């Protein structure tokens, strides 16, 4: 297998943390997003959507999208379980992972991509460029803060995002918090549950990945 990564990007980091938790090591290829390597013929043959991460299997087929990659690796390396051990636990983890992606990660991405100087005509990922929409950057910032508060409500009586066990939902949410530093947003003082949780998950050795 080959893992297509970009050391500085938030989405592949989710998979790196996942692999660190499980002690999985896979041959890794760095794709230089700053230089546009994701748009080159070589990487487009791996993932036509021009985004990392991607996992190439030995038969040449390719899995992209973080959730699909993690689910595949979990099947091969079940321990420690990061996608739940019962159907009910798994459902909460999947549900929260989707919520974190759609409410958190996409909001930071909206805020970042629609304001960053280097992405004026690249406000959406993929080969076709789209011009920035400043209003969308502003809306993204509002939605990121809304997400931090949503998470705070969830964490009032739970140790982790999807319940009492560390999971891919925590990885996704921690990456959202760190990604939001790119747009100079930090956790508000009053989201005390989110802050307590963030401190805890960030102290895990895997967070260095």
Interface contacts to a copy of itself, rule CB under 8 A:
48-49, 57, 61, 63-65, 67-69, 71-72, 75-76, 87-88, 90-92, 94-95, 98-99, 102-103, 106, 123-124, 126, 128, 130, 133, 135-136, 139, 142-143, 146, 150, 153
Nearest-approach distance from CB 161 to a copy of itself, in angstroms: 13
Q: Measured from the CB atom, is 45 or 181 closer to a copy of itself?
A: 45
Supply angle C-alpha 89, 90, 92, rounded to 5: 65
| Separation between Cα atoms, residue 79 and residue 119, nearest integer Å | 40
Q: Are 69 and 55 in contact (CB under 8 A)?
A: yes
Tally of CA atoms within 13 A in the half-sphere of 29 that contains its CB? 15
Nearest-approach distance from CB 4 to a copy of itself, in angstroms: 14
| Separation between Cα atoms, residue 192 and residue 195, nearest integer Å | 5
Q: Which of 108, 75, 85 is nearest to 163 (CA)?
A: 85
Nearest-approach distance from CB 203 to a copy of itself, in angstroms: 28
Nearest-approach distance from CB 192 to a copy of itself, in angstroms: 19
Q: Measured from the CB atom, is 30 or 103 closer to a copy of itself?
A: 103
Q: Measured from the CB atom, is 75 or 203 closer to a copy of itself?
A: 75
Nearest-approach distance from CB 20 to a copy of itself, in angstroms: 21
Q: Measured from the CB atom, is 139 or 204 closer to a copy of itself?
A: 139
The single-letter DSSP state of residue 190 is: T
Q: Measured from the CB atom, is 33 or 69 closer to a copy of itself?
A: 69
| Separation between Cα atoms, residue 163 and residue 149, nearest integer Å | 17
| Separation between Cα atoms, residue 175 and residue 48, nearest integer Å | 24
């Amino acid at each position: 297998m080959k893992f297509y990564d970009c050391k500085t990007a938030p989405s592949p980091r989710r998979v790196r943390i996942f692999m660190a938790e499980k002690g999985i090591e896979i041959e890794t290829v760095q794709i230089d997003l700053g230089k546009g390597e994701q748009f080159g013929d070589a990487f487009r043959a791996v993932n036509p959507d021009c985004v990392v991460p991607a996992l190439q299997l030995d038969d040449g087929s390719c899995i992209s999208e973080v959730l699909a990659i993690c689910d595949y690796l979990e099947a091969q390396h079940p321990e420690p379980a990061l996608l739940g051990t019962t159907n009910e636990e798994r459902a909460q983890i999947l549900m929260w992972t989707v919520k974190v992606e759609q409410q958190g990660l996409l909001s930071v991405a909206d805020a970042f991509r629609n304001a960053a100087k280097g992405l004026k005509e690249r406000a959406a990922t993929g080969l076709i460029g789209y011009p920035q929409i400043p209003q969308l950057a502003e809306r993204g910032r509002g939605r990121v803060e809304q997400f931090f508060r949503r998470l705070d409500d969830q964490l009032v009586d739970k140790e982790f995002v999807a319940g009492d066990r560390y999971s891919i939902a925590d990885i996704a949410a921690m990456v959202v918090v760190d990604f939001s530093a790119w747009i100079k947003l930090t956790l508000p003082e009053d989201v005390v549950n989110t802050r307590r949780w963030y401190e805890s998950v960030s102290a895990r050795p895997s967070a260095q990945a």
